[in-house]
A and B are shown apart, each in its own frame.
Chain A
Amino acid sequence: MRTEVVVTGLGALTPLGGDVASTWAGLLAGQSGITALTSPEFADLPVRIGGRLPVDPAQALPRATARKLDRNQQMLLLAARQAWTDSGLAHLAGTGQAVPGERLAVSVSAGSGGLLSILETWETLKEKGARMVSPFTVARFIADGAASWIGLEIGAKAALETPIAACATGSEALRRGAELIRAGWADVVVAGGGDASVHPFLLASFAAMRALSHRNDEPARAARPFDKTRDGLVLSEGAAVMVLESAEHARQRGARVYAELAGAGVSADSYDFAQPDPTGEGQAAAMRRALTDARLAPDQVVHINAHAAGTPVGDRLESVAIRRTLGHHTSDAVVTAPKSMMGHLLGGAGAAEALATVLALHHRVVPPTINIDDFDDEIALDVTREPHELSGGVVGALTNSFGLGGHNSVLAFRSVGAT
């Protein structure tokens, strides 16, 4: 029999809030986390809007800890701590019921690694010389740094992994986490992703690709997936982490289960670096594989958390791909686009949106999509603009993450019991 994987802990720092409760409340209320970037280093950029955390992760950690960690690592460590505590496993540490380190793994990624630390240290090296380069520089910039810091803190000895897949990074980290449990390498995996992306270097780089919204005068209205006037994505920072656990392990310790991570599907377009395959087949293949893996039929999918970054081509193509996957059942699935509120968390997006999907199943309500003033009639999906209540019973949901370079990563979740 296949090992079932369930979600037993959640943690997040997003532009909507410094924890899961405030993020979820912001999503349900249809709040925008996007603001104008007014400090001098952004002044000369073509795009001066972004989603910043309302809390400074460096302030939430002891100074000696904060200075060892890149900003992405600070966010991911804090999100992991939240999830670890939320799962109840933190309280078991040091007792006979603690998860043995040998059965505990980490699958946590940052899409850009410690890019901010690289930029900062390069300045130090040029201005002050090699002697002033911190011994923590490598630890701060390597892409797997966050996984290692989290592993050190919880004593994970089964594996530390860091799957990277551009904007699908967070989703891929969760997929790998579930695989570690299914393959029998671990009973519990702390999994998720995050990126510290609100920096002039990233804004300039993404703007050069023509990927960003230029709506500088209306930050809160700039992220507008599925609206006719959408003009690109909005960069945000943030992290989301889950505790994944074998259903048997969770049952034995009486853990609260949010949802089942029922399956995952992956594919690659290999069509163009920045543009998705225009047939939508790559994205549809990933969705079909996720459904098959989760043993979900198209008519059991009541909710889709769309990748919907707000780019003119991407949103339309996702609609094509969803219809290709669900056929005439497409209208049974309520679609939402949390990037309309959180912006694009890059390596954190897949994890934060998986978290929103899990909470939608847990609370039986789908958060709205905001900023749709003029719905693009080329989008043939049931996109909700109000919080939408889900029916009872066991239902399935998909969350899509598509990344630059042609990564398609889809996670399938199933609701559990009565709530």
Chain B
Amino acid sequence: MASIDQLNTELSDLVNKVAGVPLEEIRPDKSLTSDLDIDSLSVAEIIIAVEEVFGVRIPDADMSDISTIHEVAAYIHKAQAKQL
């Protein structure tokens, strides 16, 4: 299973690819919307890509608890641990 650090790195690449945010601006503690200024539809695209790449489901209800890259990574980590 991937570590949180690995997940953070992979997520940064994904955010860069989907939303076009330069890699040097992306850090685990950054909020997708308020810090990285990613619009709402691009966040939806990122979540779809996360579900596709990491094989997890992130229901809309859980989205309100997720804001930073690190929080997304932690969510994936927890969901993958449950699957084991």
Contact = CB atoms under 8 A, between A and B. Distances in A.
Q: Decide if A and B are genuine partners.
A: yes
Interface of A: 62-65, 68, 131, 134-136, 139
Contacts of B45: 134-136
A65 B41 contact: no
A209 to B, nearest CB: 36
A64 B19 contact: yes
B20 A64 contact: yes
Contacts of A131: 48
A68 B41 contact: yes
B18 A135 contact: no
Contacts of A65: 20
Nearest to B17: A64
B57 to A, nearest CB: 11
Interface in B16-62: 18-21, 41-42, 44-45, 48
A62 B41 CA distance: 17
Contacts of B48: 131, 135
Contacts of B18: 64
B20 A135 contact: no
A195 B45 CA distance: 26
Nearest to A152: B39
Contacts of B20: 62-65
Nearest to B52: A131
Contacts of B42: 64, 68, 135
Contacts of A64: 18-21, 42
Contacts of A134: 45
Contacts of B19: 64
Sort chain B's interface into a size bin: under 10
Contacts of A62: 20
Contacts of B41: 68, 135-136, 139
**3 tightest CB-CB pairs across the interface, nearest first?**
A64-B20, A135-B44, A135-B41
Given A64-B19, A135-B42, 18 more contacts: A62-B20, A63-B20, A64-B18, A64-B20, A64-B21, A64-B42, A65-B20, A68-B41, A68-B42, A131-B48, A134-B45, A135-B41, A135-B44, A135-B45, A135-B48, A136-B41, A136-B45, A139-B41
A68 B45 CA distance: 10
Nearest to B43: A135
A324 B20 CA distance: 56
A65 B38 CA distance: 11
A47 to B, nearest CB: 36
A140 to B, nearest CB: 10
A131 B55 CA distance: 13
Contacts of B21: 64
Contacts of B44: 135
B76 to A, nearest CB: 18
B54 to A, nearest CB: 14
Nearest to B21: A64
20 contacts: A62-B20, A63-B20, A64-B18, A64-B19, A64-B20, A64-B21, A64-B42, A65-B20, A68-B41, A68-B42, A131-B48, A134-B45, A135-B41, A135-B42, A135-B44, A135-B45, A135-B48, A136-B41, A136-B45, A139-B41
A63 B45 CA distance: 14
A139 B39 CA distance: 12
A357 B41 CA distance: 39
Contacts of A135: 41-42, 44-45, 48
A35 B74 CA distance: 55
A68 to B, nearest CB: 7
B19 to A, nearest CB: 6
Contacts of A63: 20
